[in-house]
Amino acid sequence: MTTHLLLFVAGAIALVLAASALFTWRTAKRIEAYLRPAGRFIDVPGARLHVREAGNGPPLLMIHGLAGQMAHFSYALLDRLAADYRVIMVDRPGSGYSTRDAAASASASAQANAISALIDTLELDRPLVVGHSFGGTVALTLALDHPDQVGALALIAPLTHAPDDVPPAFKGLTIRSALARKFVAWTLATPMSIAKSARLLADVFGPEAVPADFATRGGGLLSLRPGAFLSSSADLLALEHTLPALGARYSQLRLPVRVLYGLNDKILDWRDNGQALVDKVPGATLSLLDAGHMLPITQPEATAQFIREAAVAQYGAAARQALR
């Protein structure tokens, strides 16, 4: 290959990467202009959290999963719960519209510390903490690291034990080099995610259908931004160091723990994560649905009923009317 040809190829690659970076930047700006923050911002150590509250009554604190944001709960659960409870939804550090300090850890423990500070700021009295998927990991960590701040756990398809392999939908996040992650985030991640979106969402939602309005009403578009890719990658990579130690502590939990799982979950197996958890936690219970992983969106009534029952068990008469 001649020098001129090498220069031409290098120039063509640089041009394509520059075009990809411009496309990524413009796409992120358009998404943020269309899907604006729905709540307010609260500063805590290591993060600036985007928080949305609705309703009155006993508090429910809701923590979303990997590569998600609070719209996974507002999509269909918020209206079902806000009539009877004070619902607090939070974008985890680095997710949605929350930011994470550059020096802050992405570990579940660090995220639990941020949520703990939020509980103090909002003066929540031992709320029922609802966690979906990786949000369940954070909720469990919060209950173990800050036991005086959590009244009970209602976990929806929680990640509780290290899987043998990363689910295919999240394989693209497993880039260990920080420099390589930034390069991919600002060049390839957005256009490739758009191209593969149908297949990726089918994996996450399957065997249930992906709602036609998930990209907007469910906030799915927010995951296309480079910052979302970077934070989700960091979250995922941090898990391999924290999940084994976390699993060894589950028997220490001394609060009500309820787990809801889909029998046909294509992301996390209910036996390895649901049954394995309740086997270690005294008094924990497991409920199963003929459904997949995205229960807050695909099974809102059953999920809301699961949360209501957990609230009644914790709050008693103050929450009982929600079951009527």
Domain that holds residue 80: 37-162+242-323
- At residue 44, the pLDDT reads 98
Given a cut of 90, whether residue 87 has pLDDT beyond it is yes
* Burial annotation 268-279 (CB, 10 A radius, 16+ → b, else e): bbbeebbbbbbe
**Which pLDDT score, from 0 to 100, does residue 320 have?**
54
Are the C-beta atoms of residues 159 and 89 closer than 8 Å to each other? no
pLDDT at residue 54, as a whole number = 97
Please report which confidence band the pLDDT of residue 2 belongs to, taking 50, 70 and 90 as the band edges.
confident
Helix axes 226-247 and 134-145, enclosed angle (nearest 10) = 50
pLDDT at position 67 is 95
Higher-confidence position of 318 and 207:
207
Taking residues 74-87, report their average pLDDT: 97
The answer to the question of residue 152 being in a domain is yes
Residue 146 lies in a domain: yes
Total count of domains within the chain:
1
Q: From the centroid of its chain, how far is CA 216?
A: 17
Average pLDDT over residues 137-156: 98
Q: Is residue 241 within 8 Å of residue 107, measured between CB atoms? A: yes
Kind plus residue range of the DSSP H or E element containing 231 = helix 226-247
Label residue 9 by pLDDT band (50, 70, 90): low
Residue 21 pLDDT level (bands cut at 50, 70, 90): confident
The confidence score (pLDDT) of residue 133 equals 98
pLDDT band with cut points at 50, 70 and 90 for residue 160: very high
Q: Is residue 260 pLDDT above 70, yes or no?
A: yes
- Please indicate, yes or no, if residue 187 is contained in any of the structural domains: no
37-56: average pLDDT: 97
Query: What's the 3-state SS for 2-61?
Result: CHHHHHHHHHHHHHHHHHHHHHHHHHHHHHHHHCCCCCEEEEECCEEEEEEEECCCCEEE
pLDDT (tens digit, 9 = 90+) per residue, 172-193? 999 999 899 999 999 989 999 9
Instruction: Report pLDDT digits (tens) over 114-142.
Output: 999 999 999 999 999 999 999 999 999 99
* Cβ-contact 159, 137 below 8 angstroms: yes
pLDDT at 164 over 90: no
pLDDT at 317: 59
The Cα 250–Cα 279 span in angstroms is: 9
Structural domain contains residue 210 = no
pLDDT at residue number 321? 57
Structural tokens at position 105: 């850890």
Query: Across the chain, what does the average pLDDT equal?
Result: 93
Average pLDDT estimate for 56-73: 97
Mean pLDDT, range 14-33, rounded to an integer: 83
Indicate which CATH number applies to the domain containing 121: 3.40.50.1820
Cis peptide before 207 (omega within 30 of 0): yes
Confidence of residue 23 (pLDDT cuts 50, 70, 90): confident
Is 1 a residue whose pLDDT tops 90?
Answer: no
Question: What is the mean pLDDT of the segment spanning 291-298?
Answer: 98
Domain membership flag for residue 50: yes
CA trace torsion 230, 166, 130, 259 (10° rounding): 180
What is the pLDDT averaged over residues 96-123? 97
pLDDT the model gives residue 242: 87
Q: d(Cα 233, Cα 240) in Å, to the nearest integer? A: 12
Does 232 reside within a domain?
Answer: no
Contact status, residue 265 vs residue 292, Cβ threshold 8 Å: yes
213 in any annotated domain: no
The answer to whether residues 109 and 146 touch, using CB atoms and an 8 Å cutoff, is: no
- pLDDT for position 118: 98
> Is position 314 within any domain?
yes
